[in-house]
Amino acid sequence: MKKSICLYFQVHQPTRLRLYRFFDIGKDSHYYDDYANRTILKRVAQKCYLPMNELLLQAIKANKGKFKVAFSISGSAMEQFDRYAPEVLDSFRALADTGCVEFLSETYYHSLSSLASTQEFEHQVQMHKQAIEHYFGVTPKTFRNTELIYSDAIGAEVRELGFTTMLTEGARHIMAWKSPNFIYNNDFKSDLKLLLRNYQLSDDIAFRFSDQNWQEWPLTAEKYISWIKASEGDIVNLFMDYETFGEHQPGTCGIFDFMKAFASLGSKDGALQFVTPAEAAQKLESVGDLSVMQPISWADEERDLTAWLGNDLQQDAFNKLYRLEEKLSILNDPSLWADFGHLQESDHLYYMCTKFFSDGEIHQRFNPYSTPYEAFINYMNVLSDFIIRVNNAIAEK
């Protein structure tokens, strides 16, 4: 049997908050930095989304459909594409039309709702499904939770929503002696298949590709494919942020040439085949249950939730936000629901992370704030105004 390669890319852009001061509370309820959102989105579109989408499209055509990939695009990103760069949506539609690209389901707002509220989680999954159908004309079959967050309980809930395949992290502390290069199934729902990220091979591209101090630098497509073929198991799942290409790893380092060569050589190698997650689940049988009692993610060395909920600041913001859900359900105001959604974006909590140990540099790289405390103060000022709006609306009802 040929060894399968499953390439999956996460596409997300947060709705960044403007500098919101204490004196704005109760006076100005526009929370977003429209200039930063537009400027960053357009920059990343030119450096990553447009050239990489074109590269993938040409790779699919050149290899006669043997090259396949999957995307999960957050609702927040789709909104910004629609507003600031509709040509990016067109380029994703062109990929959808090939039939070689799978679009995955996730939470609409790239949120942590799976940890807070079953009702809100299900609501966002349905919102995201409708958005994918609207923009790309396909219905997602595979689920990928925000930041690959997964546990037995979350997986069981995802199966109840109708999905039979889910992506997560092949974290060392839950794998023990097992390899991520096989299909597993949920411990509670045996008919939910799990595809596990091979973090070593994924991070070789996402984090180490341009590092000239890395002992394997420079990474060539030939070398990389030899590693894949030498690895044990049925499937190698390569999951990473799409912004890896051209943004995190600049185009000048050769990342685009590498991917073009990787697609070509992998498609022509008789021992390998590219598959989408849905195809992988259909082709391969599970080798057994995978027990994950506590939630895992793909973040940091710990592969847990501490990037978003590891300190008192983050937990305070998280809890105060989700306490509003019952009142918002009573009001059912579209404007308030939209702000509630954008305030759930996991990035806001990520900016408050105070971990500066093994992964401090990574947290700093994607953080617009000077300190996590600035991020907390700014967010809580916004949340204070939002709470006032919700309470005033309840009083008027």
pTM: 0.95
Give, in order, the Cα–Cα distances in Å from 390 to each of 54, 97, 231, 321, 363.
44, 43, 54, 11, 32
Residue 357's pLDDT is 40
With a CB cutoff of 8 Å and minimum separation 6, the contacts of 266 are: 5, 67, 221, 225, 228, 272, 274
DSSP 326: H
Give, in order, the Cα–Cα distances in Å from 154 to each of 91, 186, 192, 224, 292.
33, 10, 11, 33, 10
Q: Can you list the residues of the chain whose pLDDT is less than 50?
A: 357-360, 363
Active site residue 247: no
Give the relative orientation of helices 118-136 and 86-96 as an angle to the nearest 10 degrees. Answer: 80
**Alpha carbons 188 and 28: distance in angstroms, whole number:** 47
Beta strand ranges found along 35-80 (DSSP E):
69-73
Query: For residue 345, how far is the Cα from the chain centroid?
Result: 11
CB atoms within 10 A of CB 134: 10
Map residue 202 onto helix, strand or coil: helix
246, β-bridge pairs: 250
**Alpha carbons 220 and 340: distance in angstroms, whole number:** 45
**Alpha carbons 205 and 227: distance in angstroms, whole number:** 13
The active-site residue, picked from 79, 147, 169, 279, is 147
Token code pair at residue 290 = 């995978």
Q: 234 with 1: CB under 8 angstroms?
A: yes
Q: Which residue has the tokens 């039309």?
A: 97
CB atoms within 10 A of CB 323: 11
Q: Is 276 left (phi over 0), alpha (psi -120 to 50) or beta?
A: beta
Q: Is the peptide bond between 51 and the residue preceding it cis, with omega within 30 degrees of 0?
A: no
Residue 271's pLDDT is 97
Q: 110 with 12: CB under 8 angstroms?
A: yes
Opening angle at CA 244, ends 240 and 245, nearest 5: 120
Q: What is the identity of the amino acid at 336?
A: L
